[in-house]
A = this chain, B = another copy of it.
Amino acid sequence: MARKPLTKPRKTATQERARVTVDALVEATARILVKEGFDKASTNRIAEEAGVSVGSLYQYYPSKEALVAAVIDRHNDEIMKVVTAAFAEVAPLPVDQAVRRLVAVAIEAHQIDPRLHRVLAEQIPRTGRLADVEAFGRQTYAMFSAYLEAHRDELRMADLNMAAFVSVTSIEALAHTAVLNGPQKLGRDTVRELVDEATRLVVGYLL
């Protein structure tokens, strides 16, 4: 047998304590990203925050980038769960009701962990995970496109792809900007007004 004396290291954990370590690392990374920013998130700092040694960190994540990617994936999954559920729920509804619900969900989704979302939105590109985020966008776009296809008879326009692009981009931008750059606390009233306006914007465009 040639070689394999050591190393096969960076892989999945089998014991329970290992899983605890892995979790602590991801959580510590998210915490540091939010509280101290991307630049401060060094591997040494993350390991310290997680109460773990650097060595252990590198047993499970081959690079700092992988760790950040894990945080991103986790956050994306959380959001996609909400969004996917919303599309399922909305499938049988007419356009005006569906859009209203989707707008509300978009805002909710952005409120899941706004500060983390902001850091990720800002820093994701440089981690090389840009593809993931574009995939995320495309997925939303695809679901919306499918919804429009199914409700084509309600619409007056020909180019459904264009319609989906315009709608998704606008809704996403409004939710994003309102939650991240708007007033610190979005009161119930403001949210309601925003949902009204965004719905009017998109429904008026589609019908």
Q: Residues of A at under 8 Å CB distance from B?
A: 37-39, 122-123, 125-126, 134, 137, 159, 162-163, 165-166, 169-170, 172-174, 177-178, 181, 193-194, 197-198, 200-202, 204-205
Contact = CB atoms under 8 A, between A and B. Distances in A.
A170 B174 contact: yes
A178 B201 CA distance: 19
26 contacts: A37-B126, A38-B126, A122-B125, A122-B126, A123-B125, A123-B126, A159-B193, A162-B194, A162-B197, A163-B197, A165-B177, A166-B174, A166-B197, A166-B201, A169-B173, A170-B170, A172-B173, A173-B173, A197-B205, A200-B205, A201-B201, A201-B202, A201-B204, A204-B204, A204-B205, A205-B205
A37 B130 CA distance: 14
Contacts of A172: 173
Given A166-B174, A169-B173, A204-B205, A134 B39 contact: no
Contacts of A137: 181
B181 A174 contact: no
Contacts of A170: 169-170, 173-174, 201
B122 A193 contact: no
